[in-house]
Amino acid sequence: MRVHGAGESLHFEPRACAGLFSSPQDLTPQGPRPAETGGTTTGRIAMARPDKAAAVAELTENFRESNAAVLTEYRGLTVAQLKQLRRSLSGNATYAVVKNTLTAIAAKEAGIEIDADFKGPSAIAFVTGDPVEAAKGLRDFAKANPALVIKGGVLDGRSLTAADITKLADLESREVLLAKLAGAFKQPLYQAAYLFNAPASQAVRTIDALRLKQESESAAA
């Protein structure tokens, strides 16, 4: 390679430059690349798909490990209010902001049907503790903060409407119900233990049956 002095004209040999460019188009000024303008490239799509698959897998596991889940819309809630809601549910449920499409896919993969629309900014309370206490926490928070909308959910595999969740919240805690049952019906300890370990929906049905039995016996007397 020769360096020309000042005042001399520069001369390029085509063969010397042949390896610098892969095609004639490389010599043409190019505009911003898709990544710079917010466009999508094949590489970026490929990176997004594993992320979505991982999110669906995590949501599916949450559905399967929870005994209940409540779908809500949190539009209008502040970050501070969301933190307050999470603290109020602590011990009974975890409250997670979710994407509607991915959540619908995860619910289907978990074999769960939620009778609610996956629209708007959504969050789900995954209940691993007492469903009644979790429902009470959501109901009470929604009363104080109307921006929180309870849309529906699932309990022990059974779809719940928003009205069902309100009814669940109106129930007394399992401990109180069992204490009343033990006194009213003189239930053996093994039956009380059964109710403690039974799924919430099954325990509620058993309690309703016992209540109807008591009412029929009172009417007959």
**pLDDT at residue 50, rounded to an integer:** 80
Together in a domain, 160 and 183: no
| pLDDT score recorded for residue 216 | 67
In this prediction, residue 221 carries a pLDDT of: 61
Residue 80 lies in a domain: yes
Same domain for 160 and 70 = yes
Q: What is the domain-level CATH number for residue 99?
A: 3.30.70.1730
Bridge partners for 123 per DSSP: 72, 97
* Of the candidates 118, 160, 156, 119, the residue with the CA atom closest to the CA atom of residue 139: 160
Which residues does residue 69 pair with via DSSP β-bridges, in sequence order? 126, 154
Provide the domain limits for residue 207. 174-214
What DSSP string runs through 111-152? T----S---SSEEEEEE-S-HHHHHHHHHHHHHH-TT-EEEE
Please list the pLDDT of the chain residue by residue as tens digits (221 residues).
Answer: 544 444 444 444 544 444 444 444 444 444 444 444 444 444 433 435 888 999 999 999 999 999 999 999 999 999 999 999 999 998 889 999 999 999 999 999 999 888 778 889 999 999 999 999 999 999 999 999 999 999 999 998 889 999 999 999 988 766 666 666 555 555 454 455 554 555 555 555 555 555 565 566 666 66
Q: How many domains does the chain have?
A: 2
pLDDT at 208: 57
For the full predicted model, state whether its pTM sits above 0.85: no
